[in-house]
Chains A and B, each alone.
Chain A
Amino acid sequence: MGTHLGRKLKADQLKILLATLVLVVMGKILYDLLARPDVLLAYAGGH
């Protein structure tokens, strides 16, 4: 699917698409850090 999409789009369009993806992920991480979680406990891992 990615290869098919890559053939159809121009290089600069792909860059904009990937940059948008990075910005969306960044926005999600920022929201998770700033918004109050629904549950104030989390499973502890790594023990």
Chain B
Amino acid sequence: MRCATIMQFVAAAALAVTLCAASLPAHAAESVELSVKPADINISASYRGTVMHVEGLAPTGSEIVARFTGAAADLALRQKGKVFGLLWMNLGTVHLHNVPSVFLVASSRPLDQINGSELGLAAVRGSMQVLEQKPDSLDVPAELIKLKQQDGLYRESAGGITVADNGSFAVNLPIPSRCRPARTRLRYLPCATAASAAVLRLR
């Protein structure tokens, strides 16, 4: 049974909204405004997921990437293999380090078109570590991403974000029902990337 308490947010989530543009002014990050609804998500017995709505105003010409990530933790998974060369069964245990519980990314354009590949699932793949696994050639990070995608906990999609000519944008981010209850804080974390893009993060 799910936790029936009202939590401020879901899954120790960090919602990052990233703005990418080829040439943004240095003060662009400061001019971004954001609002997130709902601020509270009630995870009760009848909770079946919800849609998080983010609105904001960004410098014109920006591309928007919204990222909803859960707290990273260690994870133990069962690895499947063949027994007697015939039957597929769970054989061993794989231990992983630094695995986000949730990782949802939505972008106004495909990430590879806006030089934002490192903001997507490739970031998860690069950050997690396989601590212990059976000596075989299984690509554990790729299989983990597939497993989480089946549950709706990992998702990378282009679309779902509307950007107007004046820079105002709206993001509808579906939050899956399997998120764990947790609290998180929202904060702005402006920084600049090497590609002179302004990046603003809301955690």
* Residues of chain A at the chain B interface (Cβ within 8 Å): 32-44, 47
Given contacts A34-B86, A34-B87, A34-B88, contact A41 B76 (CB under 8 A): no
- Which residues of chain B are near A32, meaning CB under 8 Å? 88
Which residues of B79-103 have CB atoms within 8 Å of chain A's CB atoms? 79-81, 86-90, 93-94
Bound-state CA distance A37–B78 (Å) is 13
Closest to A45 in B: B78
Judge whether B147 is part of the interface by a CB distance below 8 angstroms: yes
- Which residues of chain B are near A34, meaning CB under 8 Å? 86-88
Closest to A38 in B: B146
- Which residues of chain A are near B147, meaning CB under 8 Å? 39, 41-43
Bound-state CA distance A33–B90 (Å) is 11
Interface readout for B93-119 with A: 1 if CB under 8 Å, 0 if not?
110000000000000000000000000
Judge whether B77 is part of the interface by a CB distance below 8 angstroms: yes
**A41 to B88, Cβ gap below 8 A?**
no
- Which residues of chain A are near B146, meaning CB under 8 Å? 38-39
- Which residues of chain A are near B89, meaning CB under 8 Å? 33
**A42 to B87, Cβ gap below 8 A?**
no
Chain A's nearest CB lies how many Å from the CB of B96? 9
Bound-state CA distance A22–B138 (Å) is 35
- Which residues of chain B are near A47, meaning CB under 8 Å? 76
Which residues of B57-81 have CB atoms within 8 Å of chain A's CB atoms? 76-81
**B88 to A37, Cβ gap below 8 A?**
yes
Judge whether B144 is part of the interface by a CB distance below 8 angstroms: yes
**A41 to B94, Cβ gap below 8 A?**
yes
Bound-state CA distance A12–B172 (Å) is 56
**B88 to A33, Cβ gap below 8 A?**
yes
Pick from B80, B86, B87: contact of A41, CB under 8 Å: B80
